[in-house]
Amino acid sequence: MDVLKALKLVKADAEIVLFNKFDPDHYQGVVLPGGFSFGDYLRAGSIAANSEAIKGVKEMANEGKLVLGICNGFQILVEAGILKGALLPNLNLRFVTKWVWLRVKRKDTPFTKESKDVLFMPIAHAEGRYFLDDEESASEIAVLQYADERGVPTSEANPNGSLMNIAGITNEGENVLGLMPHPERASFRSISPNGSSDGLHILKVFGG
Amino acid sequence: MILTLSEREMEVARKVLQREPNEAEWRMLDVLWSEHCSYKSSKVFLRSLPSEGPNVVMSVEDWQDAGAVDIGDGLALVLKVESHNHPSAVDPFNGAATGVGGILRDIISKGAMPIALLDMIRVGELNEKGKWLLRNIIAGIGFYGNSVGVPVVGGELSFDSTYNDNPLVDVACVGIVDKGSIVPSVVKEPGLRLVLTGFTGLDGLGGASFASRKLSGNDEIGAVQIADPFAGKIVIDSTLEVIKYVDAIKDLGGGGLAVAVTEMANGLGAIVNLEKVPLRVKELLPEEIIISETQERMLFAVKPENVEKVCSKFKEFNYPCEDIGEITPDRRVKFLYNGKTVADLPSELLLSPPLNLMPSERAPRRYNVPKDVTIEEAINKVLSHPDLVSKEIVYSQYDYEVGTSTLVKPGEADSAVLELPNGRLLALKADANQDLCSEDPYECGKSIVAESFRNLSTVGARGIALVDHLQFGDPRKPHVYQDFIESLRGIAEASRFFSTPIVGGKVSFHNEDKDGNPIKPTPLVVMAGLIEDKVVRNEVREGTLVLLGNTRDETRGTLFSRIFGSWGEVPKARLMEDLLASKLILKGISEDKVLWDKDVSKGGLAGALLPIIVKGYSVKIFSSSIIGTSSLIGKMFSENGGRFLVITDDPQWFTYQSGRLGIQASIVGKVEKGSSLWIDNKEFKMDGIIDNYFSYLEKVVWS
CB contact under 8 A, A97 and B397: yes
Query: A9 and chain B: CB distance < 8 Å anywhere?
Result: no
Question: What does the pLDDT average to over A22-30?
Answer: 87
Q: Across-strand partners of B70?
A: B76
* Residue B490: closest CA among B583, B552, B572, B434: B572
CB contact under 8 A, B401 and A39: no
Determine if residue B604 is labeled as part of a ligand binding site: no
Of the candidate ranges A72-76, B73-77, B216-220, B280-284, the one whose mean pLDDT is the lowest: B216-220
- CA B574 vs. chain centroid, Å, equals 24
CATH number of B685's domain = 3.90.650.10
Sheet holding B461-471, edge to edge: B406-408, B416-419, B425-432, B524-531, B461-471, B502-508
Minimal C-alpha gap between B644 and chain A (Å): 24
Query: A127 and chain B: CB distance < 8 Å anywhere?
Result: no
pLDDT one-digit tens code per residue, B280-304: 888 889 999 999 988 899 999 999 9
Pairing of strands B644-648, B596-599: antiparallel
In A, minimum Cα distance to B395 occurs at A97
Minimal C-alpha gap between A63 and chain B (Å): 30
Determine if residue B505 is labeled as part of a ligand binding site: yes
Minimal C-alpha gap between B169 and chain A (Å): 20
CB contact under 8 A, B230 and A38: yes
- Picking from B147, B148, B401, the nearest residue to A182 by CB comes out as B401
Question: What does the pLDDT average to over A156-182?
Answer: 96
Q: Is residue B469 part of a domain?
A: no
CB contact under 8 A, A191 and B406: yes
Higher pLDDT, B220 or B139: B139
Q: How many other C-beta atoms are found inside a 10 Å radius of the C-beta of residue A64?
A: 11
> In chain A, what residues touch B233 (CB-CB under 8 Å)?
36, 39
In B, minimum Cα distance to A5 occurs at B404
The residues of A assigned a catalytic role are 71, 182, 184
- Picking from B228, B398, B419, the nearest residue to A97 by CB comes out as B398
> In chain B, what residues touch A6 (CB-CB under 8 Å)?
404
CB contact under 8 A, B397 and A190: no
- CA A112 vs. chain centroid, Å, equals 12
Helices and strands of chain B, counted as H and E runs: 24, 26
Q: Is residue B318 part of a domain?
A: no
The pLDDT of residue B82 is above 80: yes
Question: What does the pLDDT average to over A4-23?
Answer: 84
The residues of B assigned a catalytic role are 36, 84
Radius of gyration of the CA atoms of chain B, in A: 25
Q: Is residue B170 part of a domain?
A: no
Rounded to 5 degrees, φ, ψ at B46 are -60, -30
In B, minimum Cα distance to A188 occurs at B404
What's the number of domains chain B is made of?
A: 1
Q: Which of A1, A9, A191 to mutate to test the interface with B (most CBs of B within 10 A)?
A: A191
pLDDT confidence of residue A16: 86
In A, minimum Cα distance to B230 occurs at A39
3-class SS string, B474-511 = CCCCHHHHHHHHHHHHHHHHHHHHCCCCEEEEEEECCC
Higher pLDDT, A44 or A66: A66
Question: What does the pLDDT average to over A66-83?
Answer: 94
Minimal C-alpha gap between A96 and chain B (Å): 5
Q: Is residue B628 part of a domain?
A: yes
ipTM computed for the complex: 0.90
Minimal C-alpha gap between B398 and chain A (Å): 6
Task: Report in angstroms the alpha-carbon separations of B661 from B577, B654, B657.
Answer: 10, 10, 6
pLDDT one-digit tens code per residue, B331-376: 999 999 999 999 999 999 999 999 989 999 998 887 778 889 999 9
Residues 6+ apart with CB under 8 A from B341: B334, B335
pLDDT one-digit tens code per residue, B300-321: 999 999 999 999 999 998 999 9
Cα A146 from Cα A118, distance rounded (Å): 10
- Describe the crossing of helices B687-701 and B604-613 by its angle, rounded to 10 degrees: 90
Q: Assess contact for A200 and A187: CB atoms under 8 A.
A: yes
Size of interface A-B (CB pairs under 8 A): 67
Task: Report in angstroms the alpha-carbon separations of B86 from B338, B462, B622.
Answer: 35, 34, 48
* Residue B54: closest CA among B426, B464, B446, B421: B464
Query: What 8-state DSSP symbol labels residue B388?
Result: G
Higher pLDDT, B257 or A47: B257
Cα B130 from Cα B124, distance rounded (Å): 6
Question: What does the pLDDT average to over B525-549?
Answer: 95
> In chain B, what residues touch A40 (CB-CB under 8 Å)?
147
Q: Assess contact for B547 and B626: CB atoms under 8 A.
A: yes
The pLDDT of residue B28 is above 80: yes
Minimal C-alpha gap between B643 and chain A (Å): 27
CB contact under 8 A, A95 and B402: no
Across chain B, mean pLDDT equals 93
Question: What does the pLDDT average to over A154-168?
Answer: 96
pLDDT confidence of residue B584: 98
Q: Is residue B327 part of a domain?
A: no
Q: Which of B295, B390, B401 to mutate to test the interface with A (most CBs of A within 10 A)?
A: B401
Determine if residue B387 is labeled as part of a ligand binding site: no
Task: Report in angstroms the alpha-carbon separations of B641 from B272, B407, B442, B468, B644.
Answer: 53, 27, 14, 20, 9
Please report, as a single letter, which amino acid is at residue B478: P
Q: Is residue B611 part of a domain?
A: yes
> In chain B, what residues touch A98 (CB-CB under 8 Å)?
396
Higher pLDDT, A30 or A22: A30
Task: Report in angstroms the alpha-carbon separations of B668 from B122, B460, B546, B680.
Answer: 33, 23, 6, 10
**Helix/strand/coil for A206:** helix
User: Residues B536, A191, B586, CA angle at the centre, nearest 5°?
Assistant: 15
> In chain A, what residues touch B409 (CB-CB under 8 Å)?
193
Determine if residue B682 is labeled as part of a ligand binding site: no
pLDDT confidence of residue B63: 43
In A, minimum Cα distance to B407 occurs at A191
- Picking from B398, B403, B419, the nearest residue to A2 by CB comes out as B403
pLDDT confidence of residue B356: 87
* Residue B544: closest CA among B620, B605, B615: B620
pLDDT confidence of residue B521: 97
Cα A165 from Cα A144, distance rounded (Å): 8
* Residue B152: closest CA among B122, B113, B118: B118
> In chain B, what residues touch A95 (CB-CB under 8 Å)?
142, 146, 396-399
Q: Is residue B580 part of a domain?
A: yes
In A, minimum Cα distance to B535 occurs at A190
Determine if residue B84 is labeled as part of a ligand binding site: yes
pLDDT one-digit tens code per residue, B654-676: 999 999 999 999 999 999 999 99
**For chain A, what is the largest distance between any 2 Cα atoms, rounded to a whole number of angstroms?**
44
Range of the domain at B659: 536-702
- Picking from B149, B233, B401, the nearest residue to A122 by CB comes out as B401
What is the pLDDT confidence band of residue B206, given thresholds at 50, 70 and 90?
low
Cα B131 from Cα B123, distance rounded (Å): 9
Question: What does the pLDDT average to over B67-92?
Answer: 91
Cα B256 from Cα B287, distance rounded (Å): 11
CB contact under 8 A, A97 and B401: yes
Q: Is residue B364 part of a domain?
A: no
pLDDT one-digit tens code per residue, B444-496: 999 999 999 999 999 999 999 999 999 999 999 999 999 999 999 999 999 99
Query: A97 and chain B: CB distance < 8 Å anywhere?
Result: yes
Q: Across-strand partners of A120?
A: A101
Task: Report in angstroms the alpha-carbon separations of B594 from B273, B443, B450, B539, B587.
Answer: 63, 30, 21, 10, 9
- Describe the crossing of helices B92-108 and B128-148 by its angle, rounded to 10 degrees: 30
CB contact under 8 A, B405 and A191: yes
Cα B460 from Cα A170, distance rounded (Å): 44
